[in-house]
Amino acid sequence: MREREIWKNALSSLETRLSKAIVVTFFQETELTHLSDEGATVSCPNRLIADHLKSRHADLIGQTLASIIGARPKLSFEVKNALPNKPQELGPIFRARENDGLSSSYTFNNFIVGLSNQLAVSATKAVVGHPGGLHNPLFLYSGVGLGKTHLLHALGNALKEGDPSLSVLYCPAEKFTNELIQSIQDQRSASRFRKKYRSLDVLLVDDIQFIAGREATQEEFFNTFNELYISGKQIVLASDRNPGEIQKLEERLVSRFMGGLVADIQEPDLDLRLAILRQKTKEQGESMQEEVLLALAQQITGNIRQLEGALHQLLSFALSTPASSSDLLLQITKHLPQPKQFGPEEIVKAVCHHFSLNPDVLRSPSRTKETVLARQVAAYLLRNLGQTSLSKIGDLLGGRDHTTVLYGIEKIEKELTQNLLLRNRVEAAKVEILGKTF
């Protein structure tokens, strides 16, 4: 059949223009059911796919068909076997209430406020008073283990406590993505998926950076976001970096995410670390000498999850052996990770050493091949090991702008998957940097 052959050709050509994954996901069950001078009809397995192809790929499909048949047909998309009167299958009578994903152990009560998280806490608490109000969306970001997930749950719990009828959902972005992929299988689950996310009063999405680079998820999330936002529903997002720095996140999402309030959480200072240790010890029903807690707080900087882990280690040691303060202090210095000794300067130094370059050359305008490579590796390591911001990296590398920096990092990321020699060089530089800390 003519249509079938043409569509087969079109799909293999689309595979080279889009990607195999996209074609498999969205075109797998499509057919060209009609083709004439007037137009072409593409039949799709469900409405979600029909809408997606129409909004995202219609132009490319038109071009592709034109390149095969010599004229560009007017496209229409239909849903295969759409039976509008098909009776709805009845679900179980007692369908379990959708789980809100909230964990009751994360509350505002057990979240200690300090200088580093004050902004994020007050923004989150403001949402409790006015969901869908001024801080919409609220975007929280920080490095790992600094309390974003805790705050999302605390907010959800507080909202439900204030008004149990609110429909609130806590959802890691990865779960959203997986559910979306499953929902594409058939029309009924697609509409269930949409209904679930679009009928919420409050949507809390954790680790939103996960959707970056995933086209279908970004598209669906954009639509979900808009629908909730327009109806005045509250959206809160958490990420490991600010929206502008999430690579491969569509521009329209970046601007939506920045449209409300963006608040970061910084690394905790000594006072906050100590206060957290006191509180966690109390929560465990234990006690611990103040000097021991202080030593622990001095030793473990940066990440609160690590701080908790170290405290648990210490508490169980103290429980298993009758230990004096000095025994415990010894444990801390002997067994717990030492604070990191390297900063951005050390990373730059190690890369220069490795590439036998003078740091001044690295910061100079020189564009010899080896210097450019060293600069890009430095940017990559500053980002990945040092979690340094793009603009700071630009400054450290002689005043380069953040797009150049980003380009360099992405280039190295790509090269590392293909170039063994480069991988060895980067690994060696890494060992040099990290090796200094042990």
Q: Collapsing DSSP states into helix, strand and coil, what is residue 43?
A: strand
Residues 241-280 that bind ligand ADP (CB under 6 A): 276
Q: How far is CA 358 from CA 225, 354, 355, in A?
A: 49, 10, 9
Task: Give the residue with the Cβ less far from ligand ADP, 135 or 153.
Answer: 153
Residue 149 lies near Mg ion (rule: CB under 5 A): yes
Task: Give the residue with the Cβ less far from Mg ion, 153 or 430.
Answer: 153
Q: How far is the CB of 155 from ligand ADP (least distance, A)?
A: 12
Task: Give the neighbor-by-neighbor strand order of the sheet with 202-206.
Answer: 168-172, 202-206, 234-239, 138-141, 261-264
Stretch that binds ligand ADP, among 71-79, 146-154, 379-387, 391-399 (CB under 6 A): 146-154
Task: Give the residue with the Cβ less far from ligand ADP, 249 or 276.
Answer: 276
Residues 304-323 that bind ligand ADP (CB under 6 A): 304-305, 308
Q: How far is the CB of 407 from Mg ion (least distance, A)?
A: 29
Task: Give the residue with the Cβ less far from Mg ion, 149 or 234.
Answer: 149
Q: Which stretch of DSSP H or E encloses residue 234? A: strand 234-239
Task: Give the residue with the Cβ less far from ligand ADP, 18 or 246.
Answer: 246
Residue 154 lies near ligand ADP (rule: CB under 6 A): no
Residue 124 lies near ligand ADP (rule: CB under 6 A): no
* Cα(295)–Cα(315) distance, integer angstroms: 14
* Cα(278)–Cα(268) distance, integer angstroms: 14
* Cα(156)–Cα(127) distance, integer angstroms: 10
Q: How far is the CB of 411 from Mg ion (least distance, A)?
A: 29
Strand partners of residue 43: 31, 78
Question: Which of Mg ion, ligand ADP, none binds 276 (CB below 5-8 Å, type-dependent)?
Answer: ligand ADP
Q: Omega of the bond prior to 137 within 30 degrees of 0, cis?
A: yes
Residue 64 lies near ligand ADP (rule: CB under 6 A): no
Residue 183 lies near Mg ion (rule: CB under 5 A): no
Angular region, 337: left φ>0, alpha ψ -120 to 50, beta rest? beta
Q: How far is the CB of 147 from ligand ADP (least distance, A)?
A: 3
Give 373-426 as a DSSP string: HHHHHHHHHHHHTT---HHHHHHHTTS--HHHHHHHHHHHHHHHHH-HHHHHHH
Q: Which residue has the tokens 């008004």?
A: 163
**Tokens found for residue 375:** 């600069």
Q: How far is the CB of 233 from ligand ADP (least distance, A)?
A: 23
Q: Which residue of 43, 64, 136, 149 would you call a contact of ligand ADP, by CB under 6 A?
A: 149
Task: Give the residue with the Cβ less far from ligand ADP, 150 or 400.
Answer: 150
* Cα(188)–Cα(147) distance, integer angstroms: 37
* Cα(198)–Cα(343) distance, integer angstroms: 44
Q: How far is the CB of 396 from ligand ADP (least distance, A)?
A: 26
Q: Which residue of 7, 27, 111, 257 would you call a contact of ligand ADP, by CB under 6 A?
A: 111
Residue least distant from ligand ADP (Cβ)? 147
Alpha-helical runs (H) found in 132-269: 148-162, 173-183, 187-198, 215-230, 251-257
Question: Which of Mg ion, ligand ADP, none binds 187 (CB below 5-8 Å, type-dependent)?
Answer: none
Residue 117 lies near Mg ion (rule: CB under 5 A): no
* Cα(325)–Cα(229) distance, integer angstroms: 54
Task: Give the residue with the Cβ less far from ligand ADP, 300 or 304.
Answer: 304
Question: Which of ligand ADP, Mg ion, none binds 117 (CB below 5-8 Å, type-dependent)?
Answer: ligand ADP
Q: What angle separates helix 58-69 from helix 2-17, to the nearest 10 degrees? A: 120
Stretch that binds ligand ADP, among 110-118, 192-200, 355-363, 393-401 (CB under 6 A): 110-118
Question: Which of Mg ion, ligand ADP, none binds 45 (CB below 5-8 Å, type-dependent)?
Answer: none
Task: Give the residue with the Cβ less far from ligand ADP, 248 or 305.
Answer: 305
* Cα(195)–Cα(394) distance, integer angstroms: 44
Residue 146 lies near ligand ADP (rule: CB under 6 A): yes
At CA 403, angle to CA 402 and CA 409, rounded to 5?
90
Task: Give the residue with the Cβ less far from ligand ADP, 148 or 400.
Answer: 148
Q: How far is the CB of 393 from Mg ion (least distance, A)?
A: 24
Interface ranges with Mg ion (CB under 5 A) = 148-149
Interface ranges with ligand ADP (CB under 6 A) = 106, 111-112, 117, 142, 144-150, 276, 304-305, 308
